[in-house]
Structure 1
Amino acid sequence: MVVAQFHKALSEHTRLRIMALILEHNEVCVCDLVAVLEMPQGSVSRHLSYLKKSGLVESVTRGTWRYYQLNKAMDESFMAILNLTFDSLKRDCQVQRDLTSFKPSNC
């Protein structure tokens, strides 16, 4: 993973919101992200694709749904940065609402 790509991927607020949800719940379905972010599926998928290309997340398909989780091969230093970022994101009002309202639907 390239350092610049890592930071660029986290430079957009929606992607930070998505990462906060993944860090909190370990794995999230696109359908659940659409509901909590109140965004069109295409927009959410575009952000997830960017995070995946940047090496932050990986996905698995179950049936017709795609689930995202942290990239298991991520370097420890990047993981440490993510954890510090997540700690400060918990103070963001929008992220707090996302974390509170997130209810996995088991698509």
Structure 2
Amino acid sequence: MPPEVLFRALGDTTRLRCLMLLLRERELCVCELTEALALSQPKISRHLAHLRDAGITQVRRDGTWVFYRVAEDLPAWVRAVLKATFDGNANGETLTQDLARLKQMIGRPPRDCST
């Protein structure tokens, strides 16, 4: 992955917030990200498509649910950058607020424990 692809993705606030939540929660549905970020579904989906097309995230479908997670095959340097970014922001106000909204969400999709 060329560095500019990663840093272009990280340079957008919505994509960065999605990635921080995915790193924290491991896997989230589009509806969960919509709730956590308090943004419209089309906006979230557009940013998730950008992350997917860049190879930063991957998708898992389960019936009508579409779950996103950080791609498992990222180069070590990309994982290190994402980890450092998360570690530096884990107690930040934005992530804390996003997590609080996520925890209050009613009707979160069920998880398949085998994944």
SS in 2 for 1:66: strand
**Which residue matches 1:10?**
10
The 5 A counterparts of 1:9-28 are: 9-28=9-28
What residue identity is the alignment partner of 1:30?
V
User: Greater CA deviation, 75-84 or 85-94?
Assistant: 85-94
Query: Structure 1: how far apart are the matches of 2:31 and 2:39?
Result: 10
Superposed, which structure 2 residues align to 1:41-60 within 5 Å?
41-60=41-60
Aligned residues: 107
Segment drifting more, 84-93 vs 42-51? 84-93
Mapped contact 1:36–1:102 kept (Cα < 8 A): yes
Instruction: Tell which has more relative contact order, 1 or 2 (C-alpha 8 A, sep 6+).
Output: 1
- Check conservation: 1:6, 1:55, Cα contact below 8 A: no
Ranges in structure 1 where 5+ consecutive residues have no aligned partner: none
2:97 alignment counterpart: 97
SS at match of 1:102: helix
- The alpha carbon displacement at 1:2 in A equals 1.6
How far off is 1:99 after superposition? 2.1
Q: Identity of aligned pairs, percent?
A: 32
Alignment match, 1:75 = 75
Q: TM-score, normalised by structure 2?
A: 0.86
Aligned-partner Cα distance in 2 for 1:99–1:2: 30
Matched with 1:65 is 65
CA distance in 2 between counterparts of 1:24 and 1:90 reads 8
Question: Which runs of 5 or more residues in structure 2 are unaligned?
Answer: 111-115
Deviation at 1:90, TM superposition (A): 2.1
Contact preservation (8 Å) 2:29, 2:65 = yes
Between the aligned partners of 2:28 and 2:64, the Cα distance in structure 1 is 14
Q: 2:30–2:41: 8 Å Cα contact kept in structure 1?
A: yes
- The structure having more radius of gyration, on CA atoms, is 2
